[in-house]
Structure 1
C-alpha cells in the first residue's frame, strides 16, 4: 500500500456465493433434506433396475448427484429431484418396482422403504420446493459470475432481485 496508493482488493464473487451456500447447507434442516435426497439418489443409482425404471419414467432424464466440492450442486440436486417428482412417483408405482422390490435382501429392502417413504412424503416435497425457490436466484447468480462471460454488476443485482425464478 505504501507503493500503490490506489490498490483495491475484491473477493471472488463465485467463491463468496459458494461459501454462502456451504453455510446454508450446514443448517440442520437443510442438511437433513440434502442427506435424505442423497439416500434417494444413491439407491436409484446403486440399483440397475431402479435406474432403468427412473430413466424410463423420466424419458432418459438424470438426477443431479450431490458433489463434495461445489456446494451449489446440493441445490441443483434438489432442483433435479423436484423436477422429476411426478416421474419418481410413477416409478415407484410400476410393476417393475414391485417385482424387483420383492427380490431385494433385507438391508436393501429397508433402503427401498426409505426411498418410497420420501417419494410419498408431502413434507419432503414441500421442503425441497421451499429450498429450491429460496436459493434458486443465488445459484443463478453463481452461474453468472462463474461463467466465462463477465456479467456487469447491474445484471447481477437484477438477477438477485428477480422474483419467482
Structure 2
C-alpha cells in the first residue's frame, strides 16, 4: 500500500448481519495472496491514494447534492471496527438497494468528460493533500479508476450483492 488506500469489496448481503469487526477481519485485503485473488476475480476494487479525487469527481458530476453521487466513495453507513476507541479504523457498508442506486447513477458515467470539466477543482484538491502535481497521467489514471469502480458497482448490482468499503493506511 502507498499512503492511504481504499478498497471496495463485493459481499453477499447476509454478510452485513455480522459485526463491523467480523467484516474487517474476514476481508481479503489484509492477506496479500487473498487480496491478489480478489482483485483478479473482480470482487475487490482498490484505489491507491487518490480516492479523494474520485470522491470529488463523482460527488460533483451531476451538480451539488445529488442524492446518490455521495454513496460511490465515502457514503453509506460507516461503523468503527474497534468499539473500545483504541483504533480509528472504520468500515463502510452499502446495502443491495444502495448498490443498485449507485449502479444506476453510474450507468452513463463519463469520467473523461467530468475530469476535463473539473480539472482545476481536482488539481486544487490534490494540492491539499499531496505534493504531486496534476498532469495527464494522473487524469488518465483517475479516469481508469472511475471506470473500474463503475464496472465494479454494475457487477455487484447484477449479482445482487452489497458492498463493504475499507479505508486502510
More strand by share: 2
Q: Which of these two proteins has the greater Rg computed from alpha carbons? A: 1
Asked which structure has the greater RCO (Cα within 8 Å, sep 6+), the reply is 2
Q: Give the TM-score, by structure 1 length.
A: 0.40
Q: Give the TM-score, by structure 2 length.
A: 0.40
